Structure 1
């Protein structure tokens, strides 16, 4: 029986997959709806829209830094269920406020902040949970399956969001996401595996946990370049997250449904990329496959700012970026996460994952907060060109590190 067959036979992994599959679609609806509410319903400026984007990501820094050790020492499944229910309850306040005509930018920012914090806890716990649920040789296949649900969600979610938003308004469309979190909580509740956790010690505290997460990442010759690349990539990815919707809706003049369909097209590529990750790593080696995937995403991203002034070609340009770039990005995420999960010990997975999330959670909002005011000075298109140029930095970091010579996942353990 192959690794792929074994993981499909893993009943608890199937339950985890079912939990993620639907909630991922719902999350895409909210991700699409929040900036649309800000731009079209509340007439937010570029700076306000960037601030909203930043507050969606910034809580990840605080959570990652101060909760990771606790996550390592607690059972992950009950925590995942709780975060699903918290996010569902928070999101349901938006359609209620809209119904009474009381929806404001302040509420939008508060909900984005709190759901961002809950999502950060969920992401850290899920990343630490998977190596406890499946065997090491199943990690890449497990991450591939999970990432493939993200890819399918990227196909269905934004497209459904565009249609729902035009049909019933963005706040009402968010109800679908709230229901998807309840679905996820139900399937996580059905997982039967007994979970072992690291024992708590009298010396356990947040500052020591932060130091331990940094230590294990800093001390690994392959994981540390990945961390540095994550930091610089996150900074310039923050430019894209803050400006893309503004660029598409205002600069290019596209409709909400058109933007939803364009983003959804990327899911087709992401699905292909998810399944291409393992073959690419076998053909090129893990390190070179990671570098290739990041380079492919950067090249594809050129189509976004190049769409400005292209008239009827603007939509095909954005579609091309989604079709090419999202596939490379999906494979990049699968390979880098699998390397980190294999290279580091089980009992520090949450703290190491939190270090990555903290670095990204700091870099993304900083990039977003820089991009907003900068867009008001030089224009959204120019900001996106700057982001592409900056994305070459993490590519260089990885190309000149020991990651370049990494052939197999097991080699990442030897590298310690």
Structure 2
């Protein structure tokens, strides 16, 4: 072990730059939770959409990830990643504000909802591609797991309070007006990012075309044993969980008869598991190893979704059951995400972070629209409850990618196996 590796991770909560970045991400995450509830509720309540139409709405949010192949290569050639992050925030704020404006003039249409979903998705992809390089400029390697855990805790907190607040805002103000909160959160994130002093290293001299850089990103992801296994795992689990995600609000609203506020309370209560999972992930990883912790999370994440089909009884029982299922699932997703994301950051070369993220996201997130569309088709043909069972059980198959790879032997990000 080198002297650098032996140095303990710094106290990130005392680092003003990371703290500002952390606050900005937290603000934005809370706004996102409101829109994730409000967008499908606009479609369901104002436009009376079918299961297939609401699945298309979910699919369009993730479809721009297919552009990540080219966007990641382009981002690698840019020096000022912070400017790209700010631009992504401002684009999403402007697009979201178009919805309340249209609502005030009684002009909201399904076409506009589709465009908002597509453009906010594109902004999210740009942010994600630039975020990788910005993250490593702020955080030392020894603190990757700790920093990822802290950011994931904020995400989990947003899932706890965001849906409940979002449900209340939707009921009090209507869904289109509630979306203003998300737009404001992006403006806040952009403001905070602008206050972070950071030295961004210029990219190496460009020796390849954009298409060649895209190919390099794909080759890196598919040939590296850790990256390949992680991609296969997360893509599989994303495909199946998005079969459920595309239909969950529709199922809770129509089949279970829950109000927007009740749905928000159930999802928010269940998200407590995400907070616990994010906090526990570094400790569990140190105790049993990074790879084993990730594999436990991969199973715990989708499996409980199958039980969603069994929810019945009075309203309080439905809310409690939905919250319990979401709680266990949220623990699982954090055990998986915190450890795999830290591992991906550690094994990616510094000069290839954008194109690696682009290639990885194009497959990992690009498969989500397919899962959403399959969910809509299955929900229409065989019903919502059987579709949720297929989603939960199918998602557990993702663990076999890690079992058949070096990941299961990796104890820490500095493990030679990595």
TM over 0.5: yes
Identify if the C-alpha distance between structure 1 residues 259 and 4 changes in structure 2 by more than 3 Å, giving closer, same or farther: farther
Counterpart residue number, 1:123: 128
Q: Which stretch of the first structure deviates more once superposed, 332-341 or 350-359?
A: 350-359
SS in 2 for 1:71: helix
Structure 2 residue 22 is matched with structure 1 residue 12:
no
Q: Which stretch of the first structure deviates more once superposed, 343-352 or 184-193?
A: 343-352
In the alignment, the residues of structure 1 paired with residue 373 and residue 8 of structure 2 have an alpha-carbon distance, to the nearest angstrom, of 43
Structure 2 residue 326 is matched with structure 1 residue 322:
yes
Q: Which stretch of the first structure deviates more once superposed, 97-106 or 349-358?
A: 349-358
SS in 2 for 1:130: helix
How many Å apart are 1:306 and its aligned residue? 2.0
In the alignment, the residues of structure 2 paired with residue 156 and residue 225 of structure 1 have an alpha-carbon distance, to the nearest angstrom, of 34
SS in 2 for 1:409: coil
User: Contact between 1:128 and 1:353, CA under 8 Å: does it hold in 2?
Assistant: no
SS in 2 for 1:22: helix
Q: How does 1:80-229 map to 2 (within 5 A)?
A: 80-205=85-210, 207-229=211-233
How many Å apart are 1:303 and its aligned residue? 2.7
SS in 1 for 2:49: coil
User: Contact between 1:225 and 1:403, CA under 8 Å: does it hold in 2?
Assistant: yes
Structure 2 residue 317 is matched with structure 1 residue 334:
no
Counterpart residue number, 2:3: none
In the alignment, the residues of structure 2 paired with residue 226 and residue 368 of structure 1 have an alpha-carbon distance, to the nearest angstrom, of 21
Q: Which stretch of the first structure deviates more once superposed, 315-324 or 88-97?
A: 315-324
SS in 2 for 1:102: coil
User: Contact between 2:258 and 2:315, CA under 8 Å: does it hold in 1?
Assistant: no
Gaps in structure 2 of 5+ consecutive residues:
1-5
How many Å apart are 1:310 and its aligned residue? 7.9
Structure 2 residue 288 is matched with structure 1 residue 284:
yes
The correspondence for 1:301, drawn from 302, 305, 318, is: 305
Counterpart residue number, 2:265: 261
SS in 2 for 1:222: helix
SS in 2 for 1:410: coil
The correspondence for 2:62, drawn from 52, 57, 60, is: 57
User: Contact between 1:220 and 1:415, CA under 8 Å: does it hold in 2?
Assistant: no
How many Å apart are 1:202 and its aligned residue? 4.3
The correspondence for 2:51, drawn from 46, 49, 52, is: 46
Q: How does 1:349-364 map to 2 (within 5 A)?
A: 349-364=353-368
Q: Which stretch of the first structure deviates more once superposed, 244-253 or 193-202?
A: 193-202
SS in 2 for 1:198: coil
RMSD, aligned CA: 1.7
How many Å apart are 1:308 and its aligned residue? 4.9
User: Contact between 1:221 and 1:415, CA under 8 Å: does it hold in 2?
Assistant: no
User: Contact between 1:266 and 1:327, CA under 8 Å: does it hold in 2?
Assistant: no
Q: How does 1:225-244 map to 2 (within 5 A)?
A: 225-244=229-248
Identify if the C-alpha distance between structure 1 residues 201 and 100 changes in structure 2 by more than 3 Å, giving closer, same or farther: same
How many Å apart are 1:3 and its aligned residue? 5.3
Show CA shifts across 1:99-129 (max 9, x none). 0000000000001100000011112211232
Q: Which stretch of the first structure deviates more once superposed, 294-303 or 169-178?
A: 294-303
User: Normalization by structure 2: what TM-score?
Assistant: 0.95
Structure 2 residue 276 is matched with structure 1 residue 272:
yes
- Number of residue pairs matched? 412
Show CA shifts across 1:307-343 (max 9, x none). 1578763222211112211022122111111001001
SS in 1 for 2:147: helix
In the alignment, the residues of structure 1 paired with residue 201 and residue 398 of structure 2 have an alpha-carbon distance, to the nearest angstrom, of 36
In the alignment, the residues of structure 1 paired with residue 14 and residue 81 of structure 2 have an alpha-carbon distance, to the nearest angstrom, of 22
User: Normalization by structure 1: what TM-score?
Assistant: 0.95
Structure 2 residue 76 is matched with structure 1 residue 72:
yes
Q: Which stretch of the first structure deviates more once superposed, 1-10 or 376-385?
A: 1-10
